[in-house]
């Protein structure tokens, strides 16, 4: 079905035999349909009625805009309703349980928000003279102190804007250190189970990515690792706890081995939540590790919000840290912004300004409100909750690796074999149950992987209900009700989307004169 704009009309949540339940408007109670904002626009409609401006002489030298840029004309309530409606069709950690493995979707305490909005913090400008932002620089310095203390590392680069950006920072520091030594090395070793950003980072820095297989117990294969080591290895990128939710037990040995051939040890610290206050990466021989403030330290993420990925560095890599950084001199705090003096070996600048200030404030508020004992309890409760789920499902789902997990429980899809239901179908049915699905098909080393990370901020009641819902769905899938799954989600604002089509033929621009060609999506097309 195509509507008059050439876009497919949305199948409603009501199944076919029940068309009498369709509404006139397409709305379903609180679930309100709305056209694209461009379709709502009416030429000449305005939100704010302002007097015509005084004519001014243009100083743009002829580059000023000549025509309309095609923004819709809307009233203020239309704009407001549009975005409020869209926000209500989104799932969020503030709406419900969000067990998206590896992403640490924990509650964002509201005290953090309050602090971030304090006058003097919320209205800072990055170009203010440092003499007027001494308090802000002290805050960055205090956060740096906490991060160094928690990780047992001597230095930290604060400017990277996300985990992946932190990886880039770490590998650029590794490359700069080799270059300073007059060496150019060719390979970086990365375990097969690694997050995709690890090999992507190594490749972006010009290294050949050499994948190391996993052992049967889900840890990196030490023999294969030893075989691959050589004088052309720039470093290893290892995640601990790894992406299978397991602690890499030989990590000290791995550090020694890579150091022996003159390489560096990059640790992907996205899973720091599991070991906070229990293990210090600095004691494990790590040279560089990013910390996702938006995971471990609760700053909001998802939906493209700002992340923050400070990178702790060893003595060996600290001289190559990016500028700018905060120093503490006789006249208070200062910023080193140029490659001179202490920063002469810096590999340069990663982004404009000094880092994600709003995230720094939230993260420090989170740390200070928990205190050292509270931070340690975070890790303990995160691991406890993950194991509660693991045990609650272990007679229904198969764990590819034996024993206790860390902060996330990993299952494969062997239970679903022969049912016609895939991990993806199960995930769609979870949406109907009101859950954000777990991470699927990652890590790649596990067939049909389901990676469930509850985090410490969920109660036992929430976990029990989730386990109950999963058991119910798995019983349904294994007793011949596969049709239910193939047509899920039934109750979401949108039904099964053509994800392949969306990725291959994305329509990124609204063209009023040329209707978008879209075939109605067969439900089985998503993959
Ligand atoms: C989230 C994550 C990353 C990337 O972090 P971003 O902040 O999303 O860039 C890297 N590695 C692992 C294991 C992760 O979970």
What residue numbers bound the domain in which 477 lies?
A: 377-492
* Ligand 1 pocket residue status of 162, Cβ below 6 Å: yes
Looking at the fold, whether 266 and 307 belong to one and the same domain comes out as yes
**Counted domains in the chain:** 2
pLDDT at 414 over 60: yes
pLDDT single digits (tens) 333-345:
999 998 888 889 9
Average pLDDT over residues 427-442: 97
Given a cut of 70, whether residue 375 has pLDDT beyond it is yes
Residue 520, pLDDT > 60, answer no
* Whether residue 20 has pLDDT greater than 80: no
Q: Which of 367, 401, 427 is the last residue of a domain?
A: 367
Q: What angle do CA 175, 178, 182 make, to 5 degrees?
A: 130
What local confidence, expressed as pLDDT, does residue 391 receive? 98
Measured in angstroms, how far is the CA atom of residue 400 from the centroid of ligand 1?
23
Instruction: Judge if 285 and 233 occupy the same domain.
Output: yes
Between CA 75 and CA 354 the distance in angstroms is: 38
Residue 308 pLDDT greater than 80, yes or no = yes
Q: Tell me, what's the pLDDT at 512?
A: 55
Sign of the four-CA dihedral 508, 513, 519, 521: positive
- Closest Cα to atom 8 of ligand 1: 163
Residues 249 and 332 occupy one common structural domain: yes
Distances (CA, A) of 82 to 23, 32, 87, 315, 406: 20, 10, 9, 52, 41
Give the pairing type, strands 288-290 and 311-313: antiparallel
Examine residue 18 and state whether it is found in any structural domain, yes or no: no
Cis check for the bond before 489: say yes or no (omega within 30 of 0).
yes
Q: How far apart are CA 269 and CA 52, in angstroms?
A: 55
159 and 286, same domain (yes or no): yes
Q: How far is the CA of 203 from the centre of ligand 1 (A)?
A: 16
Classify residue 149: in a domain, yes or no: yes
Q: What is the CATH number of the domain that holds 439?
A: 3.90.1150.10
Q: Strands, DSSP E only, in 158-261?
A: 187-191, 208-212, 233-239
Q: Is the pLDDT of residue 13 over 70?
A: no
Ligand 1 atom nearest 309 alpha carbon: 7
Q: Is residue 312 part of a domain?
A: yes
Structural domain contains residue 153: yes
CATH number at residue 245: 3.40.640.10
Closest Cα to atom 15 of ligand 1: 102
pLDDT of residue 33: 85
Q: Residue 265: is its pLDDT beyond 90?
A: yes
Mean pLDDT along residues 244-269: 97
On the question of pLDDT at 4 being above 60, the answer is no
Cα-to-centroid distance, 163 and ligand 1 (Å)? 5
Tell the burial category of 523 from Cβ atoms under 10 Å away from its Cβ (0-12, 13-18, 19+). middle
The verdict on residue 510 lying in a domain is: no
Task: Give the confidence band of 510 by pLDDT, cuts at 50, 70, 90.
Answer: low
CB of 292 shorter than 6 A to ligand 1: yes
Note whether 271 and 141 are same-domain residues. yes
Are 245 and 204 part of one and the same domain? yes
User: Can you tell me whether residue 397 is helix, strand or coil?
Assistant: coil
Whole-number mean pLDDT of the chain? 91
Residues 430 and 459 in one domain: yes
DSSP SS3 for 38: helix
Q: Is pLDDT larger for residue 352 or for residue 4?
A: 352
Tell me, yes or no, whether 361 and 418 share the same domain: no
pLDDT band for 17, please (50, 70, 90 cuts): low
The answer to whether residue 158 scores a pLDDT higher than 90 is yes
Which tokens hold the place of 309? 């990925």
Quick check: is 248 in a domain? yes
Report yes or no on 507 lying in a domain.
no
Is 57 in a helix, a strand, or coil?
Answer: coil
Q: Is the CB of 239 under 6 A from ligand 1?
A: yes
Pick the more confident residue, 19 or 305.
305
Q: What is the pLDDT of residue 407?
A: 97
CA–CA distance from 171 to each of 147, 265, 287 (Å)? 19, 10, 10
Same domain for 247 and 271? yes
pLDDT band of residue 69 (cuts 50, 70, 90) is confident
Q: Are 420 and 498 in contact (CB under 8 A)?
A: no
For residues 93 and 70, the model is more confident at 93
Q: Per-residue pLDDT tens for 171-220?
A: 999 999 999 999 999 999 999 999 999 999 999 999 999 999 999 999 99
Which percentage of the chain shows pLDDT scores above 90?
Answer: 75
Average pLDDT value for residue range 246-253: 95
Pick from 300, 322, 327: which is nearest to 310 by CA?
322
**Residues 437 and 313 reside in one and the same domain:** no
Same domain flag for 271 and 331? yes
- Dist. CA 479 → ligand 1 center (Å): 37
> Is 428 inside any structural domain?
yes
Per-residue pLDDT, averaged over 415-439, amounts to: 97
The CA angle 250-255-258, to the nearest 5 degrees, is: 120
Q: How far is the CA of 270 from the centre of ligand 1 (A)?
A: 6
Please name the residue whose Cα sits nearest to atom 3 of ligand 1: 163
Residue 331: pLDDT band with limits 50, 70, 90: confident
Give per-residue pLDDT as tens, 86-102.
888 889 999 999 999 99
Predicted confidence band of residue 63 (pLDDT cuts 50, 70, 90): confident
Residues 359 and 396 in one domain: no
């Amino acid at each position: 079905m195509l509507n008059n704009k050439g876009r497919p009309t949305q199948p409603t949540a009501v199944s076919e035999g029940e068309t009498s339940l369709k509404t006139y408007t397409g709305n379903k109670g609180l679930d309100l349909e709305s056209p694209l904002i461009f379709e709502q626009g009416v030429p000449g409609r305005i939100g704010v009625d302002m007097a015509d401006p005084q004519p001014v002489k243009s100083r743009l030298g002829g580059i000023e805009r000549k025509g309309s840029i095609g923004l819709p004309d809307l009233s203020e309530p239309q704009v407001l309703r549009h975005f409020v409606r869209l926000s209500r069709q989104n799932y969020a950690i503030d709406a419900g349980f969000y067990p998206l493995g590896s992403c640490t979707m924990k509650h964002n305490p509201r005290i953090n928000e309050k602090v971030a909005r304090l006058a003097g913090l919320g209205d800072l400008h990055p170009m203010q003279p440092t003499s007027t932002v001494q308090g802000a620089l002290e805050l960055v310095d205090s956060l740096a102190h906490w991060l160094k203390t928690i990780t047992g590392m001597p230095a930290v680069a604060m400017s990277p804007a996300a985990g992946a950006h932190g990886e880039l920072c770490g590998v650029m520091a590794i490359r700069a250190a080799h270059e300073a030594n007059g060496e150019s090395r060719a390979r970086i070793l990365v375990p097969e189970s690694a997050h995709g950003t690890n090999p992507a980072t190594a490749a972006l820095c010009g290294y050949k990515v050499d994948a190391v297989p996993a052992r049967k117990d889900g840890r990196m294969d030490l023999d294969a690792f030893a075989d691959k080591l050589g004088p052309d290895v720039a470093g290893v990128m290892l995640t601990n706890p790894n992406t299978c939710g397991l602690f890499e037990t030989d990590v000290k040995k791995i550090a020694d081995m890579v150091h022996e051939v003159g390489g560096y040890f990059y640790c992907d610290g996205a899973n720091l939540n599991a070991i906070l206050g229990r293990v210090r990466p600095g004691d494990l021989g790590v040279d560089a590790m990013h910390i996702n403030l938006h995971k471990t330290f609760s700053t909001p993420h998802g939906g493209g919000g700002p992340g923050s990925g400070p990178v702790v560095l060893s003595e060996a890599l600290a001289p190559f840290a990016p500028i700018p950084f905060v120093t503490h001199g006789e006249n208070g705090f200062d910023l080193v912004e140029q490659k001179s003096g202490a920063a002469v070996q810096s590999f340069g600048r990663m982004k404009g300004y000094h880092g994600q200030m709003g995230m720094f404030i939230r993260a420090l508020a989170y740390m200070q409100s928990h205190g050292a004992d509270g931070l340690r309890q975070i890790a303990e409760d995160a691991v406890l909750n993950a194991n509660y789920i693991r045990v609650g499902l272990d007679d229904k789902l198969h764990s590819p690796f034996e024993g206790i997990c860390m902060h996330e429980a990993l299952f494969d899809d062997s239970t679903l074999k022969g049912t016609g239901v895939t991990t993806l179908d199960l995930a769609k049915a979870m949406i109907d149950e009101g859950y954000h699905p777990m991470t699927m098909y990652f890590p790649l080393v596990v067939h049909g992987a389901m990676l469930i990370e509850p985090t410490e901020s969920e109660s036992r009641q929430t976990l029990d209900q989730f386990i109950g819902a999963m058991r119910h769905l798995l019983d349904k899938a294994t007793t011949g009700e596969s049709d239910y799954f193939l047509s899920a989600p039934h109750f979401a604002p949108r039904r099964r989307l053509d994800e392949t089509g969306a990725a291959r033929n994305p329509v990124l621009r609204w063209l009023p004169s040329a209707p978008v060609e879209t075939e109605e999506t067969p439900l089985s097309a998503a993959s």
